[in-house]
Amino acid sequence: MAVDLESPSNFITTRLRQAVNWGRKYSLWPLPFEVACCAIEFMSTVSSYNDISRFGAELVRFSPRQSDLLIIAGTISYKQAPILKTIYEQMAEPKWVIAMGACASSGGFYNNYSTLQGADRVIPVDVYVAGCPPTPENLMFALTQIQEKVEKEGLVPASDRHTDRAEA
């Protein structure tokens, strides 16, 4: 970025990619996939005490078409998995995913006939958050990590970021 102070009409020169990513980074629109206990901590994160809007991510959308950050808060069962996949596919590129908590990351302490052993078995995940449930601080830290990613990779669609996956 360069600022031209000499010229009578001040203007800033930058690269388009940087300008877009800068804007995107501070206006992530999260879609909470709230299924279990972790969702309660998501509620805490958006409530006024923790105030997620400090990071520009307070515009919680419940339509996948309008959001670019999927936060999986809770246990994904085999019954839930096809729904999670559909919702992810309905989100427009570019999009990012946070697996919030032990269950979404790995199945947590539910290793049984009904629980999917991590959301990344069905969709690609960008940031995993430890904790059962993670505290609001943990989730906000994950959000800043997503912001870093956005800044660095921005215009790349999720399918290109996760090339190691057969499907995306």
Partner 1 sequence: MSQKLVERLQQEFSGEIRTVSNPKGDETVVVDREKLVDVLTHLRDSEGCEQLSDVVGVDYPDRDERFEVNYLLRSWKNNHRLIVKVNAAEDEPVPTATGVYRSADWHEREVYDLLGVPFADHPDLRRILCHHEFEGHALRKDYPIEQGQECSRPEHLFNDQDITAAARRATTLVTDLDGALDEVHPSDLLTVNLGPSHPAMHGALRAEVLLDGETILEARTEIGYIHRCFEKESEDHTWAQVMPYTDRLNYCSAMLNNSIYASAVEKLIGVEATPRAQAIRVIVSELSRIIDHLVCICANLVDIGALTNYWYLYNVRESIYEQLEKLCGSRLTTNYARIGGMSHDLYEGFDLEVLAKLDQLDEGISDVMKLVARNGIFLDRTVDVGVISQADALSFGYTGPCLRATGLAYDLRKTNPYWGYENYDFAIPTGTNGDTHDRIMVRMAEMVQSRSIIIQALENLPDGPLNVDDHSVVMPPKEKVYGSIEGVMNQFKLVYEGICVPAGEAYGFGEGANGELGFFCVSDGTGNPYRLKVRPPCFPIFSSYAFLAEGGMIPDAIATLGSLNIIAGELDR
Nearest to ligand SF4 of 36, 57 (CB atom): 36
Toward partner 1, which CB reaches closer, 26 or 78? 78
**By CB under 8 A, is residue 80 in contact with partner 1?**
yes
Counting contacts by CB under 8 A, is residue 133 touching partner 1? yes
Phi, psi (degrees; rounded to nearest 5) at 153: -110, -20
Q: Is 101 in the site for ligand SF4 (CB under 6 A)?
A: yes
How many residues contact partner 1, by CB under 8 A?
A: 39
DSSP code per residue over 88-144: HHHSPSS-EEEEEHHHHHH-TT--STTB-S-GGGTS--SEEE-SSSPPHHHHHHHHH
Q: CA-CA distances (angstroms) from residue 120 to 40, 55, 161? A: 22, 25, 14
Nearer to ligand SF4, 32 or 101 (CB): 101
The reply to whether 3 sits near ligand SF4 by the rule CB under 6 A is no
